Amino acid sequence: MVRIYLCEDNQKHLEEIKRQVSYFISFSQWNMKIAAASVSPEEILKELVVDEEPNIYIFDVDLKSTSPLNGFQLGKKIREQDPHGYLIYLTSHVELSYLTFQFHVNAIDYIEKNGMEDWRVRLSNCLKEIEKRLATAKSNQEKKTIELMTFTGSTYFFVDEIIAFEAIPDHKLELYLKNEKTTILQKTLDQLEKELPDNFFRIHRSFLVNSRRIKRIEADYSSIKMDNQIKVPVAYRKRKQIKEKLTN
């Protein structure tokens, strides 16, 4: 559940924002709800729930008629509990936009209510952008990862992005990605072959490759070229096996 929190000290404006957000929710593919809509920042903080799903916050800047806190101070308090939520300022005070940097609130947008562009359109576009980011984050979460030890410490890699592993001297491995390579410690190719999905093939005593990242195969199966242009030899005794696997 993606929770949305609205804070605007003008009750009439708050209801208008609430209607616009509710309309957007009715067409959204995401499970969203307005968790709190209030003229009081203190009420927003009281109702705040932070869990694995990022929240969305739509705040006015000038809240002085209902609270000693302004929108930036509220945003800063929110960031202490929810560093990854999406924060939007919807306000008449465009001249204060620079304060988003001073308060380190990391707002995704600063929308002027009385600007040239209809704030409803801009708010809708901003929420659509958040949907795209949610989709990307969900996709990344669903990707299988593997934890490996590098010189900088324990590191997670997306399995599908791994092109190959190569055994190198001193009992180390070289991990190849599209545009980089990393030295892996405390693992052998034998161990990785057991841990990784079956699309990873041991084609040579020194190489374990991701079959989904093969770009070209020599006609006699003596070598293959990977996505990152490295050419990998195929052991003679492995050629028939590799041919059968790739054909299947």
Give pLDDT, residue 86: 95
Contact between 61 and 69 (Cβ < 8 Å): no
Q: Are residues 14 and 120 in the same domain?
A: yes
Q: Residue 25 and residue 227: Cα distance in Å, rounded?
A: 41
Q: Is 12 in the same domain as 114?
A: yes
Sign of CA dihedral 73, 74, 77, 78: negative
Are residue 7 and residue 64 in the same domain, yes or no? Answer: yes
pLDDT (tens digit per residue) in 197-237 = 988 999 999 999 999 899 888 888 889 999 899 999 999 88
**pLDDT level of residue 150 (50, 70, 90 thresholds):** very high
Domain check: are 20 and 116 in the same one?
A: yes
Domain total of the chain: 2
Residue 183 clears pLDDT 90, i.e. is over it = yes
Does 118 lie in the same domain as 66?
yes
Q: Say yes or no: 76 and 26 in one domain.
A: yes
Q: Given this model, what pLDDT does residue 104 score?
A: 62
Considering the domain architecture, whether residues 116 and 54 belong to the same structural domain is answered as yes
| pLDDT at site 115 | 65
Tracing tokens 């801009």 back to the chain, one arrives at 122
| 19 and 103 part of one domain | yes
pLDDT at position 66 is 83
Q: What is the CATH number of the domain that holds 11?
A: 3.40.50.2300
Segments forming the whole domain that contains residue 136: 2-142
pLDDT, tens only, 82-99: 988 999 998 876 666 555
Burial of 79 (0-12, 13-18, 19+ CB in 10 A): middle
Question: pLDDT band at residue 55, thresholds of 50, 70 and 90?
Answer: very high
